[in-house]
Structure 1
Amino acid sequence: MKKNNPIQQTLTLVKKDLLLEMRQQYAFYGVLLYIVSTVFVINLMMGKPEDKLWNALFWVVQLFVAVNAVAKSFMQESKGRLLYFYSLVHPRYFIAAKLIYNIILMVVMSLIALGASIMLLGNPITNPGYFVGVVLLGGVSLSLLFTMLAAIAAQANHSAALMAIMGFPLILPILMLLSNISVSAFLTVFQPELPRMFWLLGGLDFLVIALSLILFPFLWKD
């Protein structure tokens, strides 16, 4: 990796993670099995729920998909491998690559979860294009947050309890915003507060990215 080319370093790290994921497909298929089985169990217990309940259940599934798919990104990195990467690239490039990789992974998982939900729980969505956009945006938001939490937990001896404690108060506003924004996909009435909620969600995403890029170099030194 060239020291003077941060974009190349970042993209090389993203490619490395993608290649590892393709070789270790048990992780991908494990999350895929979780999505299908969870939605199938919901179908067995509730059939085809009404639109508001459908929306709430979908975002609950998305939350646990993010925990299973994204939070493991740092758990699979050993201390020796992290030390090796520390000698090659700047910590900001490393965390930027993790953010990009997890966004790609979560976008794919979000589309799979949406397809499974529509097939097994029915399709109460009146504006599918809008909802798909919100799902992709939500996948990005969840991946950014849990990447930052996983990075912090990895420096605390991979403490899953620490990630859960930190994540609970942080994930609530994002889930509330996503559920309120996605409600418009089930309605024909325009919500006047919708643009403000999009700006709030974008602001939270920007804040998470900024905190990750600023804090991770100090965490990695330890």
Structure 2
Amino acid sequence: MANHIITLVKKDLLLEIRQQYSLYGVLLYIASTTFVVYLIMGQPENEVWNALFWVVQLFVCVNGVAKSFLQEQKGRMLYFYTIAGARDFILSKLIFNVLLMLVMTILGLAIFLLLLGNPLEQFFTFFGVACLGGFGLSLIFTFLSAIAAKAQQQASLVAVMGFPLIIPQLLLLVKIAKIAFAPIVQTGLTQMILLLVAFDILVILLAVILFPFLWKD
């Protein structure tokens, strides 16, 4: 099982390296969006900075991660069906998209700090929350992409299904990230992080349990 997962992750990694236009396109989106905000607002206030960061992260995840299943052709899926199991395949997609989103999160945070200034009082706290948020966003949109891949209106279905699922997580991420803008550590941080981790674990379990039923179709 581990060998299948590692091989499938390497496959996705090689495809991403060969098709560098998709990675560069997402990076261009981050840089251009942040630069436009800089031209309009300069260095915004803390709450605006925080909200803009998570909005950009959301659209980066939609453009970079949600396409993971949408770009797989039917013939290629049939080939994967013969060489790997359903759980191997979905876990490899989750792992690859988590790694991809973590890279995007780090680069996005670096561009934000460069253009919009650094209002963070606790940088490492915000960095950890940003990585954890990118982790959760990638899990949700990978799972939704797997479901939407069986439908005809794939991209629109991801957006429709993702909206009610992603809003609670975004609100929780924004609330947790506000702590990094205060000079002292506030109470309740551990409970909110554990709630976010529990939500991510639930998404992984749902993907592992439900994807085999889609895999047979």
Which bracket does the TM-score occupy, shorter chain normalised?
Answer: over 0.9
Asked whether the equivalents of residues 49 and 121 of structure 1 are also in contact (C-alpha less than 8 Å), the reply is yes
Task: Name 2:110's counterpart in structure 1.
Answer: 115
Displacement of 1:158: 5.3
- Correspondence 1:192 to 2:196: no
- Output the CA distance in 2 between the equivalents of 1:46 and 1:91: 48
Asked whether the equivalents of residues 10 and 93 of structure 1 are also in contact (C-alpha less than 8 Å), the reply is yes
The alignment's C-alpha RMSD in Å is 0.9
Q: Secondary structure at the match of 1:35?
A: helix
Task: Name 1:77's counterpart in structure 2.
Answer: 72
Task: Name 1:142's counterpart in structure 2.
Answer: 137
Displacement of 1:155: 1.3
| Residue identity (%) | 59
- Correspondence 1:126 to 2:121: yes
Q: Gaps (5+ residues) in structure 2?
A: none
TM-score, normalised by the number of residues in structure 1: 0.96
Question: Residues 155-177 of structure 1, C-alpha deviation per residue, up to 9 Å, x if partnerless?
Answer: 11352221111100100111011
Asked whether the equivalents of residues 110 and 139 of structure 1 are also in contact (C-alpha less than 8 Å), the reply is yes
Task: Name 2:168's counterpart in structure 1.
Answer: 173
Asked whether the equivalents of residues 98 and 147 of structure 1 are also in contact (C-alpha less than 8 Å), the reply is yes
- Output the CA distance in 2 between the equivalents of 1:188 and 1:48: 19
Displacement of 1:122: 0.8
Find runs of 4+ consecutive structure 1 residues off by over 4 angstroms: none
Task: Name 1:15's counterpart in structure 2.
Answer: 10
Q: Which moved more, 1:184-193 or 1:198-207?
A: 184-193
TM-score, normalised by the number of residues in structure 2: 0.98
Q: Gaps (5+ residues) in structure 1?
A: 1-5
- Correspondence 1:89 to 2:60: no
Displacement of 1:202: 0.7
Q: Secondary structure at the match of 1:41?
A: helix
Please point out which of 49, 55, 58 is paired with 2:50.
55
